[in-house]
Amino acid sequence: MFKTRISELLGIEYPIVGGTMMHLALAEYTAAVSEAGGLGVLASANYKDMEKFREALRQIRRLTRKPFAVNLNFFPALNQIDNNQYLDVMIDEGVKIVESSGHRAPEDLVGRIKKAGMILIHKCVGVRYAKKAESIGADAVTVVGYENGGATGNLDIGTLCLVPRVVDSVRIPVIAGGGVADGRGLAAVLALGAEGAIIGTRLLVAEETPLHPEIKKRLCQATELDTRLVLRSLENTHRVWKNETSDKVAELEAKGAGLEELLPLISGMVTKEKFQQASDGGLLACGQGIGLCTRIQPMREILAEMARQAEEALRRLHRLMPRLPGQDQLAH
């Protein structure tokens, strides 16, 4: 498999990060990604109670001995998050890898993160934010293009252009995503200069992801046309699945609705409940890569299949260049 600065830095078999997911990236999901050979990322914001957060970290350790990360959330929230509290528990429990994401870099926490000897990965959506992450001392940066499921920011840059721009602008290794949903996508971002891929949407249909099976079945039938952007009016643009809830949100936003009117549809509590029902799924982050997700599979199978497909893509490219040295080894 591919050996990159990211697989080396993080100690993972495949250079694949399983994207953190609000309400879904709990202990079992995180451990399943790591056990499958990627990097699982627990979403700390899922835990309001620090003892439950601590228990989730311990549960991951019971389920896997492999590396995992914890995401610190810097997105706007109704109930403001104090990331120092999460960091206290993480330091206490010996967490080794931190991912930060949101509307700013974790400048205020980087001192504590470094002092504790943790690896810091910052996730963002543009060159200027990636440079900022590097300047504060991040060990790696993740960038996601406009195709991605979840927060897209407001720059609207596609993965194909964003990744090489970021690779050319920073020295630290880059993890890239936004539309990576199979091994061809993994090979593509590596070809663009990234040293790892991040996938979220593809994992919505992993067996271990705690979404209702009926929703997963419907997602397997969705195509790349079945996503839309919402919440731009609140300066919190997200790419989500096109369903009754997101249709309604889009309609209300177009009419100029404010937070109060939108809240019954977008609040975390409502969303969380709908993920567990055979309902329309609520406001579910989902990227264009959903068009490539056609069946529900175990996590281990998804990651192994992606690795195999990426190798096949590389072989195909080599065959297009018959005189390339080393082609003999790759031809089969």
Ligand X SMILES: Cc1cc2nc3c(=O)[nH]c(=O)nc-3n(C[C@H](O)[C@H](O)[C@H](O)COP(=O)(O)O)c2cc1C
Which residues lie near ligand X (CB under 6 A)? 19-22, 24, 43, 71, 101, 123, 144, 147-150, 177-180, 198-201, 204, 284-287, 289
Minimal distance in Å, beta carbon 318 to ligand X?
Answer: 27
Secondary structure E strands in 75-146 = 97-102, 119-124, 140-144
Residue closer to ligand X (CB basis): 27 or 284: 284
Compare residues 134 and 147 and give the one whose CB is closer to ligand X: 147
Residue (48 or 332) nearer to ligand X, CB: 48
Least Å from the CB of residue 4 to ligand X: 18
Q: How far, CA to CA in Å, does 58 sit from each of 53, 94, 191, 236?
A: 9, 10, 37, 32
CA distances from 323 to 57, 282, 313, 317, 329 (A): 51, 53, 17, 12, 13
Pick between residue 143 and residue 313 the one whose CB is nearest to ligand X.
Answer: 143
Q: Please, which residues have CB within 8 angstroms of residue 223's CB and are 6 or more apart in sequence?
A: 290, 291
CA distance 85 to 158: 35
> Of 46, 53, 138, 52, which is closest to residue 95 (Cα–Cα)?
53
Taking the C-alpha atoms of residue 123 and residue 103, their distance in angstroms, rounded to an integer, is: 10
CA dist 169 and 325 (Å) reads: 30
Strands (E), the chain: 16-18, 39-43, 68-74, 97-102, 119-124, 140-144, 150-151, 174-177, 196-199, 227-230, 238-241
CB of 324 to ligand X, least distance (A): 30
Q: Of the two residues 43 and 130, which places its CB atom closer to ligand X in the complex?
A: 43
C-beta of 9 vs 284, nearer to ligand X: 284
- Nearest distance in Å: CB 327, ligand X: 32
Residue with tokens 């706007």: 76
Minimum separation from the CB atom of position 320 to ligand X (A): 27
Smallest distance, Å, CB 101 to ligand X?
A: 3
Task: For the CB of residue 14, give the shortest distance to ligand X in the complex, in Å.
Answer: 15
Find the residue with minimal CB distance to ligand X: 200
Closest to ligand X by CB, 40 or 178: 178
